[in-house]
Structure 1
Amino acid sequence: MNMLKLLWLLPLFLLLSGCWDKNELEEQAFVVVLGLDKAPKNMVTVTFQIANPQVGSSDKGSAPNEPPSDIVSFTAPDILSAKELANSVITRKISFAHLRTVVVNQDLAKGDLYHHVMGASVRDPEMRREINLLVSKERAFDFVKNNKPKLETRPHKYYAFMQERWRDTGFVPYSTLNRYFQRLSNDTLFLAIYATTEKQSGKYSRVEDDYLAGQVPQKGGDPVQIIGSAVFKAGKMIGTITGEESRYSLFLRRKSLTHSFISTYQDPLNNDYQITARFIKNGTTKVKLNVRTDPVEVSVKLPLRVQILSTPSFVNYASDAGKQEQLKASLQEQLQERIMKFVTKAQQTYKGEPFLWHLSARSQFWTLKQYEDFDWPSQFPKAKVSVNVELKIESFGKQIDPPVMNQHQGVK
């Protein structure tokens, strides 16, 4: 009897099922990069870079002369209204399902409008929190239009690969919308990826990472440079820091997603040359705060393992223990000096810290109200900070004896 009743329900299941909300791939326009520029009267110019799914795929033969993407921009009150307005020009349905990068012009990022636009956009379920945030020196429309990578046909692959390099180099931070919204308070600074297609000539540094985007001495290659960070405080951009300073920001955090970087330092036994070394984080950074003193005392210990990669001066450090101690002391001194210079800059210029030390300060209070009354943003600029770099040189990269230059006999 029960089975007969279920049979009567079968026609209802057939009526309720269906594919009424189905969208075919060829009916959709997938936006892979979104650009935001400032426009008059509290409006924004929204740039859409829409991927051509046939380019870079096995179906390329049917469209050999088509461009890899189409770039179009609209001026509207916000992102969602611009998305709707785009369908007055684009025949396919605009989709953010594959959106991974948002490019924001720094002029817009420095104002109050940017936060209102981004805050409203996440109501769209397609605007996922893991979207990467990138700040451009020039207009976002110009940045997206001028970026024509030679090795990557599909634009989304270029940004995906470049943003993965932060794990290897630390030149840029891990910057997503989720982290931006997490760090809107004054307790800490938020760092976003900084990039440009406008190159600035004339700057040269013996420290290979002491550059901002646009300053790297480059000839040929892709037009985009991505190095350094845009500094945000309370949702508004307040300045920039170099690739070197971005590295220190990541390494001074108790837990860092970047574990190593390669940098150069002056050779202590021959000042005319630089030594190249790989610095590897040897455990977590130890941060101790004494919130009962005035000013607050912050003690940081940064444990690092060092691999000497190159000594152009040909000083034989590998077999001389005395020279090794000199090298170790010199690297510690130079690294601590550079780090403290940046910490002082964070205290005096930006009045905030990107090291997440506020988490250590907050853990010393029983209640949230006690921590808020303590007012960490006003305490950090006058805090007494000490950074101790603990180095352990584990290798000198020696495989054969280095050649020795002789004025009369040449190279041996």
Structure 2
Amino acid sequence: MRRLMVMKKWLITPVAILLMLLLAGCWDRTEINDLAIIVGLGLHETEDEEVQLSVQIVNPSSMASGQSGNSGQQGTGQLTTMEKEVGKTTFDARSKLQEKVSRELFSGHNRVVFISEKLAEKGIRDHIDFLARYTRPRLRSYVYVTKGVPADFFKVMPDLESSSAETARELADLRIGMSVEVKELLQMTADASENAALPIITIEGEPPHSYGLRVQGAAVFKHGKMVGQLDDSATRGVMWIRDEIEEATIMVQPEGETGYISFLVLDATTKLVPEIKGDNWTMTVQINAIDDAVENHTTLDLMKPDTIKRLEKQLEEKVEQRIHIALEQVQKDMKADILGFGESFDSKYPDKWEAVKDNWDEKFSEVTVNIESDVEIKRPGRSTSPPALPEDEVTNE
């Protein structure tokens, strides 16, 4: 018995030592000093019809020195650097890019994907395949169409953020304009209508040498190719239909007044109600919104119930006007269902949808759209009557 216990001790000791050695560290670890951390990825088509891949890489020396903002422009070293390469495919360009970057390219912290207008017009299906199939790029990255070559956007050094990629990410998080992640783009291109919309981003310059980024409108895609663009007003209309309004500003000029009243949309919900009767396909867009008055340049007293009722009617007309602008361009001109109509009909009437899905572009343009909006002004603001006017000039009607 004693001999057996001694043997067990001799067996346990080497096993314990081996386990301690394994716990001492990771045998396949990659040190952060060996990585080129990508925060922005850009895709563009060259004149030779090849793919130009550009990346924005964090400058490790700037991270170590604790710089922030655009201090890189002050001669102490930039916070990020831009590298680019050309290839037959996206991954071919990436492989060539790795040949000249001394650290391993790492896109696990990627913020944004920029796609140039030129590439968008040619088609993005193959490049979406790379983003979906290759495991490294983040599916939570935001996607934009750029007015110009993406590499130029990565050269912009913003005032408030550490990089132009971070600026684009912050703009997307604010939800002021359209905001689309890679995974959402994959879902849009895989749904029944195969159509999608992406926000457009531009470079905005200010004298003498200050540049920033601005989200301006949206690009509309049919079957993977950009077929048109929407301005800000039409884009907001699309967002109302798609239930993507989180916070918005609406300005109205009451009848008989020279000034304006500004309202902040605090809460908005949209519901799509499809209906099929015979050959008639109808979509009812039901909108409910709660607004607060934040600015009053008129003579109206916002505590008067009749005044509030008239203003609520005007706000409803404003929302409906933006929706009609969007419908005219998206439904009638482009015939691209980026509104989710096809998905709604498919969910409620799968058999009838099956019969028209191959010809949905044409059927979509024939769908009758009814808009039912209900806007409620919840609060008139801190001041009920215009503070800049004498009391005898305030309109009480």
- Sort the TM-score into its range (normalised by shorter chain): 0.7 to 0.9
Paired residue secondary structure (1:313)? coil
- Are residues 1:364 and 2:375 paired? no
Could you tell me how far apart the structure 2 residues matched to 1:306 and 1:178 are? Answer: 32
Give 2:325's match in structure 1, choosing from 333, 336, 341. 341
Cα deviations across residues 252-294 of structure 1 (Å, max 9, x unaligned)?
A: 23xx353231121222231x33321112335x42322222332
Give 1:83's match in structure 2, choosing from 72, 86, 94. 94
Shift of 1:138: 0.8
- Are residues 1:45 and 2:52 paired? yes
Could you tell me how far apart the structure 1 residues matched to 2:239 and 2:145 are? Answer: 18
Maintained 8 Å contact 1:97/1:126 = yes
Paired residue secondary structure (2:40)? strand
Where do 1:265-304 residues align within 5 Å? 265-270=252-257, 272-282=258-268, 284-304=269-289
Could you tell me how far apart the structure 1 residues matched to 2:115 and 2:288 are? Answer: 36
Shift of 1:65: 2.1
Partner AA of 1:311 in structure 2: N
Could you tell me how far apart the structure 1 residues matched to 2:370 and 2:207 are? Answer: 40
- Are residues 1:109 and 2:126 paired? no
Partner AA of 2:130 in structure 1: A
Q: 2:33: which partner in 1? A: 26
Paired residue secondary structure (2:78)? coil
Q: 1:158: which partner in 2? A: 167
Give 1:134's match in structure 2, choosing from 133, 138, 144. 144
Q: 2:187: which partner in 1? A: 182
Q: 1:353: which partner in 2? A: 337
Maintained 8 Å contact 1:180/1:235 = no
Q: 2:221: which partner in 1? A: 232
Could you tell me how far apart the structure 2 residues matched to 1:269 and 1:358 are? Answer: 43
Could you tell me how far apart the structure 2 residues matched to 1:325 and 1:33 are? Answer: 48
Greater share of residues in helix? 2
* Change over 3 Å in CA distance of 1:115–1:359 after alignment to 2: closer
Shift of 1:251: 2.3
* Change over 3 Å in CA distance of 1:123–1:383 after alignment to 2: closer
Shift of 1:195: 0.7
Paired residue secondary structure (1:223)? strand
Q: 1:195: which partner in 2? A: 201
* Change over 3 Å in CA distance of 1:374–1:5 after alignment to 2: farther
Shift of 1:298: 1.4
Maintained 8 Å contact 2:236/2:322 = no
Maintained 8 Å contact 2:195/2:338 = yes
Maintained 8 Å contact 2:43/2:51 = yes
* Change over 3 Å in CA distance of 1:120–1:46 after alignment to 2: same
Give 2:158's match in structure 1, choosing from 149, 152, 163. 149
Give 2:371's match in structure 1, choosing from 387, 395, 402. 387
Partner AA of 1:343 in structure 2: L
**TM superposition score normalised by structure 2:** 0.84
- Are residues 1:374 and 2:379 paired? no
The runs of 5 or more residues in structure 2 that have no matched partner are none
Maintained 8 Å contact 1:186/1:377 = no
Maintained 8 Å contact 2:58/2:79 = yes
Partner AA of 1:28 in structure 2: L
Cα deviations across residues 72-114 of structure 1 (Å, max 9, x unaligned)?
A: 21111223222221233221111112112111111101113x3
Could you tell me how far apart the structure 1 residues matched to 2:96 and 2:199 are? Answer: 29
- Are residues 1:67 and 2:78 paired? yes
Which one is further off, 124-133 or 351-360?
A: 351-360
Maintained 8 Å contact 1:346/1:352 = yes
Maintained 8 Å contact 2:284/2:369 = yes
Paired residue secondary structure (1:29)? strand
Q: Percent identity?
A: 20
Maintained 8 Å contact 2:195/2:224 = no
Cα deviations across residues 39-72 of structure 1 (Å, max 9, x unaligned)?
A: 24442111121111342555559x9822111112
* Change over 3 Å in CA distance of 1:308–1:57 after alignment to 2: farther
Maintained 8 Å contact 2:233/2:322 = no
Maintained 8 Å contact 1:56/1:153 = no
User: Aligned residues, how many?
Assistant: 375
Partner AA of 1:371 in structure 2: W
Partner AA of 1:85 in structure 2: K
